[in-house]
């Protein structure tokens, strides 16, 4: 009788190398993965249908949960869709405040991702550093919005309230602090011989593969293509600030998390300009004459997108003129590498590198099973 050499292993949902509440079923021969299957849906799921059963304003409390490490992107892209359907003009100051929130969220997400590289390689110092530094951003968010994680601050028509007095100086202090640590980050992570040995050549993604399955963000920029929604289709006031799009050509794990570090530095550059250029004025526009819970949005169809820390993040929204969305489809930035990538590209990876492969692909499971 022929004996099978293939063994099935389960990675997650509680494994420290698995991102969020999802699981990967690994089929291995020896210490090498021969095929894999993603099993999402252990916690946050079904958001699109949930949104279609709630009022337009009620969804503001739901959508941040589609990606917990960077919830503000959902608020922004949803608000942009509603504003496009209603023809709402967002006040000038609100655009700049939105950029503050989005770029701080980008830095927070990248810090978590860099910490994940340390956790997956046993370099726990970097994960302790990055999570502690991320907590400083959460302190700022709490002062601005009243909440640390789910802010519900970016709303259709602008932002919920103006910035608190003195918060600009606290943001500048944080930016100075992160820049002062750049040498420490580079020496510990980017120039670390063990990290480079573990990640260079790992999880290779060619430009052709990235374009075929729809990978954007650092996954695509690591193949040399400078695709960034903030540049090619600017929103808010990104066309009024100067910043670069870091790229690489290797397309491997090392290139991807290195680009995240350099993108953090560009976010700092953007934030300094925003704080300098931001005008005074109102921060929201009145968009409903009646009850927010019975608000009707004009009939129409729209697709809006922004650049999240993981790539292009979009909402396709259809309104039939009623009190709730008729249809919503979320283009989660991590869907391609999180689903197609796991099932098409993970094969050939050694067992000890699977967690690192998943970390540097950087995906949020709810974006997949949404």
CATH code of the domain containing 68: 1.10.645.10
Please give the average per-residue pLDDT across 198-209, as a whole number: 90
The helix (H) or strand (E) run that includes residue 273 is: helix 253-277
In a domain, 2, yes or no: no
pTM for the complete prediction? 0.93
Residue 203 DSSP label: S
Distances in whole angstroms, Cα of residue 315 to Cα of each of 89, 211, 282: 19, 20, 27
Q: Express as a percent the part of the chain with pLDDT over 90.
A: 65
Residue 29 lies in a domain: yes
Q: Residue 301 falls within a domain, yes or no?
A: yes
Q: Rounded to an integer, what distance in angstroms lies between the CA atom of residue 152 and that of residue 76?
A: 10
The predicted model gives 226-250 an average pLDDT of 96
In 3D, which of 20, 317, 288 has the Cα closest to residue 157? 288
Mean pLDDT to the nearest integer, 103-117:
93
Model confidence at 1, pLDDT cuts 50, 70, 90, reads: very low
Domain annotation covers residue 313: yes
Residue carrying the six token digits 């050694």: 350
pLDDT tens-digit profile of 357-369? 888 887 777 787 7
Residues spanned by the domain of 108? 7-368
Q: Is the residue at 1 inside a domain?
A: no
pLDDT at 30 over 60: yes
Check if the beta carbon of residue 204 is closer than 8 Å to that of residue 181. no
Q: How many CA atoms lie within 13 A of 161 on its CB side?
A: 10
The answer to the question of residue 238 being in a domain is yes
The 10s digit of each residue's pLDDT in 117-175 is: 888 888 889 989 999 999 999 999 999 999 998 999 999 999 999 999 999 999 999 99
Phi, psi of 239 (to 5 degrees): -80, 0
What whole-number distance in Å separates Cα of residue 138 and Cα of residue 241? 24
Coil, strand or helix: which one is 276? helix
pLDDT given at position 15:
63
Element (H, E) at 197: helix 193-199
152 is written with which tokens? 């519900």
Structure confidence at residue 6 (pLDDT): 80
Highest-scoring range by mean pLDDT, 9-13, 170-174, 190-194: 170-174
Count of domains forming the chain:
1
């Amino acid at each position: 009788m022929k004996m099978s050499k293939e063994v099935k292993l389960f990675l997650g949902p509680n494994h420290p190398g698995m991102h969020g509440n999802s699981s990967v079923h690994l089929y291995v021969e020896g210490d090498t993965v021969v095929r894999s299957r993603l099993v999402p849906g252990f916690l946050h799921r079904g958001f699109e249908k949930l949104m279609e059963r709630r009022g337009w304003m009620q969804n503001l409390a739901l959508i941040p949960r589609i990606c917990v490490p960077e919830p503000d992107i959902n608020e922004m892209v949803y608000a942009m869709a509603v504003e496009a359907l209603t023809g709402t003009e967002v006040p000038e100051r609100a655009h700049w405040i939105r950029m503050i929130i989005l770029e701080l969220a980008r830095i927070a997400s990248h810090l978590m991702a860099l910490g994940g590289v340390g956790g997956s390689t046993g370099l726990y110092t970097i994960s302790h550093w990055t999570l502690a530094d991320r907590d400083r951003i959460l302190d700022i968010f709490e002062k601005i919005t009243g909440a640390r994680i789910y802010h519900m601050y970016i709303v259709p028509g602008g932002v919920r309230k103006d910035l608190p007095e003195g918060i600009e100086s606290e943001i500048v202090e944080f930016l100075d602090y992160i820049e002062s640590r750049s040498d420490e980050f580079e020496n510990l992570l980017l120039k670390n011989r063990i990290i480079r040995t573990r990640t260079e050549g790992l999880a290779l993604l060619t430009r052709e593969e990235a374009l075929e399955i729809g990978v954007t963000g650092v996954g695509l920029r690591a193949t040399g293509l400078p695709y960034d929604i903030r540049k090619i289709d600017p929103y808010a006031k990104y066309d009024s600030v100067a910043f670069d799009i870091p790229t690489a050509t290797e397309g491997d794990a090392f290139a991807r998390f290195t680009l995240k570090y350099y993108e953090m530095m560009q976010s700092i550059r953007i934030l300094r300009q925003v704080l300098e250029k931001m005008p005074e004025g109102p921060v929201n526009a009145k968009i409903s004459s009646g009850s927010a819970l019975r608000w009707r949005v004009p009939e129409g169809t729209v697709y809006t997108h922004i650049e999240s820390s993981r790539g292009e993040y979009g909402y396709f929204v259809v309104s039939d003129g009623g009190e709730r969305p008729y249809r919503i489809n979320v283009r989660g930035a991590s869907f391609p590498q999180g689903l197609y990538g796991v099932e098409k590209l993970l094969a050939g990876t050694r067992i000890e590198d699977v967690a690192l492969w998943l970390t540097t692909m950087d995906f949020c499971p709810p974006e997949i099973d949404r």
